[in-house]
Amino acid sequence: NLVSSPDIWRTIAIEENERNIALVDKTIRAEVPQDLRDAYNHAAQPALAAMNKFQDYLKKNLASRNNWDWRLGRDRYVRKFRYTMETGAEADAVLANAEADLQRVRARMLELALPLHKRMFPADGDHSNLTGAARENAVIQEVLEKIVQRHSTRESFMDDARKDLDQARAFVAEKHLLTLPSRSNLQVIPTPEFMRGIYSVAGFSPAPALEPQLGAFYWVTPIPADWPKQRVESKLREYNFYTLKQITIHEAMPGHYVQFEFANDVQPKSRRVLRAVYGNGAYAEGWAEYAEQMMLDNGFLNHAPEIALTFAKEELRVIANAILDVRLQTRNMSDKDALDFMEKMTFQETEEATGKLQRAKLSSSQLPTYFVGWRGWLDVREHYRQAAGSSYSLAAFNDKALQQGAVPLTVLGRLLQ
C-alpha cells in the first residue's frame, strides 16, 4: 500500500493521474465506435470512480503523512549507480570526469563562439578585458542569445519536428552512416497526456519487441495553451531551430528509433525479449548522444558553426546531467545551487533547468547514463577501429553494434572483437 511518498513524487502523481482520468473519460471515449459505447461506459465508470478516489487520497490523506526525502543517499545511490551503468564506472569517478569535461567543453565553446561573436557583433569587442569563466559566459551567452532567437512557434513545433525527421533520414541515407530500418513504422505524435510529467519536451516509445509492425512513436510534447508568453518563449528558445533538430536525431533518426528497430530484429526471439526487458540504459542513451555527434562529424547542416556551438551546449547538458544526479542524490546539492549551475555554467533556459531539476528528483542514476554511455560508445568504436585497421567502416561498425541489442558497453566491446 502507498503510505508515504516524497512531496515531489506525490505532486507529479496527482498531475499524471489527472491525465489518466482524462485519457479514460475523454480521449479514449471519443474514439470508441458507437456500437461499443455502452460496453465502454460500463467498464469506464468503475475505473473512473477508482481513479478519482485515488486522486482524493493523493491530495488529502497522503499529503498529511510524514513523507520522506527523495534523495537516495550515498550508500544506496552508489550501489544503484553501479548496477545501472554495468560498466565498472563508479559514481565519484564519473563525477570527477564530468567536472573536468565541463571546463574542457566550455573552453571549446569559447573557441567556437569567438568568430560568431565577431560576425554578429562587429562593432563590439570580444570581452578581452575579462578572463576565465567570466569571459566564457559573456561571449558564449551573447552568441547563444542570437542563435536561440530562431525557433518554431507554439503552433509549428510539431510540424517542424516532422520536417526535421525527414531531413535527418535523408542525411543518414546520403552519407551511408548505417543500414536504415526496413520497416516504415515510425509516427510523430503528441506525447500522451499521462506521460508529459516526465517527457516535457519529447520522448520515444519503441515498437513492441515481438510485434514491431505495430509501430513506434516519436513523442513531441505540445506547449500548453494556457502557458504565459514568457514561459512559451523560454521553452521555444531552449528547443530552437538547431536544438529541435538535435532532439529529433536523438529520439528518432538515427537515435533511439533506429537502435530499437535493430534490437527488434535480434534472433532468437528469446534473446530479443531479454534484451528488451533488461536493456542497458548507458547503451541506449549513449547511442543517441553518439548518433548526434556522428551526424555533425559527417557534415549535417554543412558544418554550420551555429549547430556546432549548439551541440557543444548539448554536451554541457549531458555533463551537467551526471554532475547534478550525483550531487543532488549524495551531496545535498540545494535547488538554488542546481538551478544556478544549469543556468550560469551550462547556459540552460530557466524553463529547461526547472524541468531538469524536477526530473532529477523523480529518478536516480538515469541522468548519468547519457554521459557514461556516450563516452563508452566512443571507446568501443575506437577499439573496433584499431582492430579493423584499413578495413574499418563506420557503417559496418554501427550495424554490428546495433545488431547486438542493448547490452552493457563492456560486453558490446567483447562481442565485436
The C-alpha cell at 149 is: 532567437
Q: Is 319 in contact with 102 (CB distance < 8 Å)?
A: yes
Give a yes or no: residue 36 inside a domain. yes
Residue 149 neighbours by CB distance under 10 Å: 12
The alpha helices in 196-298, defined as continuous H runs, are 229-238, 241-251, 256-263, 269-277, 281-297
Complete edge-to-edge strand list for the sheet that includes strand 202-205:
186-190, 216-220, 202-205
Phi, psi torsion values for 190, nearest 5 degrees: -60, 140
By the 10 Å C-beta count (0-12 exposed, 13-18 middle, 19+ buried), 396 is classed as: middle
**pLDDT tens, N- to C-terminus, the chain (417 residues):** 788 899 999 999 999 999 999 999 999 999 999 999 999 999 999 999 999 999 999 999 998 887 889 999 999 999 999 999 999 999 999 999 999 999 999 999 999 999 999 999 998 889 999 999 999 999 999 999 999 999 999 999 999 999 999 999 999 999 999 999 999 999 999 999 888 877 888 999 999 999 999 999 999 999 999 999 999 998 999 899 999 999 999 999 999 999 999 999 999 999 999 999 999 999 999 999 999 999 999 999 999 999 999 999 999 999 999 999 999 999 999 999 999 999 999 999 888 899 899 999 999 999 999 999 999 999 999 999 999 999 999 999 999 999 999 999 999 999 998
Residue 310 belongs to a domain: no
d(CA 238, CA 246): 12
Q: Which residues pair with 204 in a beta bridge?
A: 218
Q: Would you give the distance in Å from CA 83 to the centre of its chain? A: 20
Range of the domain at 30: 7-64
Which amino acid would we find at residue 268? P
Q: Are 384 and 409 in contact (CB under 8 A)?
A: no
| 15 in a structural domain | yes
Number of domains in the chain: 1
Q: Is residue 58 part of a domain?
A: yes
8 Å CB contact between 79 and 364 = no
State the Cα–Cα distance between residues 394 and 390, nearest whole angstrom.
12
46 located within any domain? yes
Asked if the structure places residue 22 within a domain, the reply is yes
In whole angstroms, give the CA distance from residue 161 to residue 238.
14
pTM, rounded to two decimals:
0.90
Does the residue 55 lie in any domain?
yes
Q: Do the domain assignments include residue 222?
A: no
Give whole-number Cα distances, 176 to 255, 283, 287, 395, in Å.
15, 22, 17, 7
Q: Which helix (H) or strand (E) holds 203?
A: strand 202-205
